[in-house]
Amino acid sequence: MKGTVYSTTGKELRAIDLDDAVFGLPVNEDVIWYAINNELANRRLGTASTKDRGEVHGSNTKPYKQKGTGRARRGDKKSPLLVGGGVIFGPRLRDFSYAMPKKAKRLALKTILSLKAQSGMLQFVENLAVESGKTKDLASVLKNFGENERTVIVLDDNEEGRLEKNRLIKQAGRNIPTVNFLSYNNLAAHTLFYGRRILVQESVAAKLSGFYGEEACS
């Protein structure tokens, strides 16, 4: 499969070869759905909690005597039927996270990369950097690839000499709500799938193939 490398001005520079095992797979909707739901479940805090009648602060005595009042029988003041009492079947602290098989997770990410590449949303950019670290400079670069679209920028945070450049480009993108940053070896299915435009540093193309390709998974 072929991909196109662009300059930061949006000009087409050259074509590059892409690994079909990463960028040329058929779309697998089931595994994408599984991966996205797994990430959303792992993000849930599960901190909603209520107190039952055994946890509510109050007296254990009956509010009034059993007979002779003409009123309904009451056990104690913490009854769920009374104001200020416990809650019946209310939410409790819960951990929603669960593990997903590594091979399925990798397949989902490769499928999303293939989907974006085949639909023309995946673009490789030469020397993608913002030396000034200013938002307006990054905004001017993004404008060359389309405006007001949810953009995902894939960086290489492990490459020597790129750490400072990546820090500056992330700094420039902090005030742009439609921009997200991902590292090639720590992609997020939800962020990647809902990105309308995926900008990848040119040097990352080969590393994506090496990290998610068949040889790396074997």
pLDDT above 80: residue 158:
no
pLDDT digits (tens, 9 = 90+) for 180-213: 999 999 999 999 999 999 999 888 888 898 888 7
Report the phi/psi class of residue 102: left, alpha or beta, with left for phi > 0 and alpha for psi in -120 to 50.
alpha
pLDDT digits (tens, 9 = 90+) for 37-87: 999 999 999 999 999 999 999 888 898 999 999 999 989 989 999 888 999
pLDDT above 90: residue 165:
no
**What are the domain boundaries of the chain?**
2-29+102-217, 45-95
Pairing between strand 12-17 and 2-6?
Answer: antiparallel
The pLDDT of residue 136: 94
pTM of the model: 0.83
CB atoms within 10 A of CB 29: 9
SS3 category, 16: strand
**Assigned superfamily of 2-29+102-217:** Ribosomal protein L4/L1 (3.40.1370.10)
SS3 category, 202: helix
The pLDDT of residue 162: 77
pLDDT digits (tens, 9 = 90+) for 133-155: 999 999 999 998 887 789 999 99
CA distance 200 to 42: 26
Encode 58-74: b = buried (16+ Cβ within 10 Å), e = exposed: eeeeeeeeeeeeeeeee
- The CA distances from residue 118 to 20, 54, 67, 99, 121, in Å, are 11, 59, 78, 29, 8
